Amino acid sequence: RCRAMSEDQRLWAVRGATRAAANDPEKVIEATKELMRELMSRNQLEPAHMVSCVFTSTPDLNAEFPAAAARQIGLESVPLLCAQEIDVPGAMRSVIRVLVHYYASGDHEPAHTYIGDAQKLRSDLHAAQ
């Protein structure tokens, strides 16, 4: 359920990533909660403003759906999707990524959020660290 967009708002998208300490349900949940809480804080996001979240995880992380963590922190009414990241040889392992679509004011600047070792994935986004 998405809140109606007012004239001074527009649709935005923000990205983020983190690494799970292990392929363990608790570790996947823990890492995803930290990522989502930080991304939501940096962007002053409330679930009512969120349109959808797309999560991916690297093929080595299959113990739990990242979306389960999002549900646990209050995103019950936000459409969520999980998918597997492309298995590129030599790519960083144990990574959980998210793409969040949301409404915010027209002058908002998305604060992409890369946590810990995942910062290496987007070193070009210095503000995301």
pLDDT 10s digits, 16-39: 999 999 999 999 999 999 999 999
d(CA 33, CA 39): 10
Size of the chain in residues:
129
Given phi > 0 = left and psi -120 to 50 = alpha, else beta, which region is 78?
A: beta
Mean pLDDT across the chain, nearest whole number? 92
Q: What pLDDT does residue 101 have?
A: 98
Mean pLDDT of 67-88: 97
Residue 128: pLDDT over 70: no
